[in-house]
Structure 1
C-alpha cells in the first residue's frame, strides 16, 4: 500500500477531517490533501510529525517492512491484539491464548476481515 493510501487510512481511523489534521499539524488543508492524493510528498520533518500524530513509525507510514521480521516467526497474537486495539477494543479477554498461538497469516487476515465486517455492521446499526 502506498504512502498516500496509508495516510488516508490512518486519518479515517482517527475519524478526523483533512482540515482538522492540517490545523493540528500547522499546515494548509490543501497541502495535507496533496499528501493523501499523492500529488506531493512531505519532507522528512513533516513525515516525522505525521508519524508522531498517528502514533506510528515513519516506516509504518511509508509501508516499509523491516527485513528483521522475515527472520522472526509470525506472531499471530500480536497481530490480533494490534488490530483489536485499532478498532478501539481495550480488552481481548475473550481470546483463549492457547487456541490462537498457531494461526498462520491467512487465518489472521480472515479474522481481521470478520472483525471489520462486525464493526461495520455495528456502526450501521447505530445510525
Structure 2
C-alpha cells in the first residue's frame, strides 16, 4: 500500500514537474515538499488542494490511493467559480462563528484548543470544497443533451 508521500511523488512525476517547478508555482519550499514526499510531514488541507489541482489528480486517490488517479481537467464544470468561492467563504465564516460561540465543545473529553478548532475548520473547508466540486460534475439527464451540443 502506497503512502500519501508516495502518491504525492508519483503525481508530481506524472505531471512532469520537478520540485523546483512546484516551488515556483505554489511557493511550497523544496525542503517542505521533500518532507511531504518522504513522509516526514503531512500537508494541510489547503496545500493538498493546491497540489491536487496542480498535478491534476483526484483528492480521493491522493488521500486514500483508491479510485481514479487523474481527473478530467478539460471539464469546466468541475472548477470552482468566483460565486462558489464566495459561497464557501460565507459558509466557513458561519462555521467559524458557530465554533467560536459554542460552549461545551469537547475533543476527547477536553475543551478544544484554538489549534484543534483551526484544524477542524481546515478539514471542514476541504470537505465543503470537495462537495462543491463533486456536485458540479453531476448533470441531470434533462440537461445532458444541451451540454453535448
TM-score (structure 2 length as normaliser): 0.42
Higher-Rg structure is: 2
